[in-house]
Structure 1
Amino acid sequence: MDSDTFIFCLEAVPDVETTSITEVVKNLEQLAFEQGITSIYKTCDTIEGLEESLNALLYADHNFTDYEIIYLVMQGEGNTICLNDYYYSLEEIAELFEGKMTGKILHFANAKILDLTEEEAQYFLDITGARAISGYGAVFHKLTSSTLDKIFFSLFEEQDNVVEIVQELFQKKYDLCKLLDFRLYY
């Protein structure tokens, strides 16, 4: 990226009417304070809320092109996300945002396992136009991916090639990357 990394974070919560400061919010504030990485944080509790939040970013935020990373913190497994006890496949999500994620990187926190076949990943990338999908193959409820996520995001300040960024991430935090099973589909 040129100079600034921008992150749009969408966290799944049980009820959007209940507000609380989550670990995710604290980490995004820390990234902003320490490294100048700008973010927008929103919560959702339904698929409609997810769609509404991303559409608001797409159509109402004139700086959308600056947001390279869409950071999703939500439960799920394999190729699904879970919102309000309902599971949605990434294929369904891809169809909701057909052609709307051009050049974006979707990064999932380790609240959900990201386990895609080559065909599932390619379908998502082709339909949405996203540049890459990243996440983790292992969930440890006592160990969140937030430390690794912050390093991953900060590496976008230095360069723009996602493969080189992931290589550098592995060089810096190899043991943590292996423990959480960091994955990149591009």
Structure 2
Amino acid sequence: MSSEKYIYCLEGVPDVDQPHPTAILPALENLAFQYGITNIYKNCDTLEGLEESLSLLLYEDRNFKDYGILYLVFEGDGNQIIVDGYYYTLEEIAEFFEGKLTGKIIHFANLMRLDLDEEGAQYFLDVTGAKAISGYSKQVPILSTVLDTFYFSLCQEEENVIDLVETLYEKQYALCTTMGFLLYY
């Protein structure tokens, strides 16, 4: 079994100063209680807040090397997340993280439809240094937390991304195909 991979979850919300219902927090609590996976949750409502949260993670969090998964929960489509009405492309995200995500998995919840081709995925991986980028290609009326939770637990056990995806599909085939789970490495 490989060493534990902490999860850093960043969620886009309408207003950080107002309470808002979110399905992400209970899912993260489940990860901690059921699987013992350490995770950090942060939310943001502006592009500046997004960049500040990511900068704090990259430059000030002494445990950054322990975070194996960056879990991004933002609405969007066509490889763009929406933050405060601004569309932030995967290319912009890649450039922000240039060379800083070595060995990490970047995972997008299904609020943003991942629509990468081989070239786009390779660009993201090459620029960031990430081990893999994953998400969902299909729009479905449920949030992906059920499958995300299982996926993150498998990430703790399986180092090889091919074996990881094979196991995920073996155990959750219906959800994976319905939601269009994708992983590029």
Q: CA deviation at 1:21?
A: 5.0
Deviates more, 1:150-159 or 1:173-182: 150-159
How far apart are the structure 2 equivalents of 1:40 and 1:99? 22
How far apart are the structure 1 equivalents of 2:14 and 2:7? 22
TM-score, length-normalised on structure 2?
0.95
Alignment of 1:22 onto 2:10: no
Tell me the amino acid that sits aligned with residue 86 of structure 2: Y
Tell me the amino acid that sits aligned with residue 152 of structure 1: Y
How far apart are the structure 1 equivalents of 2:38 and 2:90? 26
Q: CA deviation at 1:3?
A: 3.3
Deviates more, 1:67-76 or 1:87-96: 87-96
Who is 1:47 aligned against? Answer: 47
Tell me the amino acid that sits aligned with residue 172 of structure 1: K
Who is 2:124 aligned against? Answer: 124
How far apart are the structure 2 equivalents of 1:182 and 1:20? 27
Tell me the amino acid that sits aligned with residue 156 of structure 2: E
How far apart are the structure 2 equivalents of 1:155 and 1:170? 11
Alignment of 1:15-164 (within 5 A): 15-141=15-141, 143-164=142-163
CA RMSD of aligned residues (A): 1.2
How far apart are the structure 1 equivalents of 2:19 and 2:95? 30
Q: CA deviation at 1:2?
A: 2.7
Who is 1:5 aligned against? Answer: 5
How far apart are the structure 2 equivalents of 1:51 and 1:84? 13
1:90-148 CA-partner distances (Å, limit 9, x unpaired): 1111111111111111000111100012111111111111111000011223x111110
How far apart are the structure 2 equivalents of 1:66 and 1:12? 23
Query: Gapped runs of 5+ residues in structure 2?
Result: none
How far apart are the structure 2 equivalents of 1:5 and 1:102? 13
Over the matched positions of the two proteins, sequence identity in percent amounts to 58
How far apart are the structure 1 equivalents of 2:161 and 2:19? 34
Give runs of ≥4 in structure 1 deviating > 6 Å. Answer: none
1:77-96 CA-partner distances (Å, limit 9, x unpaired): 12211111111111111111
Tell me the amino acid that sits aligned with residue 55 of structure 1: S
How far apart are the structure 1 equivalents of 2:132 and 2:2? 19
Query: Gapped runs of 5+ residues in structure 1?
Result: none
Deviates more, 1:128-137 or 1:154-163: 154-163
How far apart are the structure 2 equivalents of 1:61 and 1:136? 29
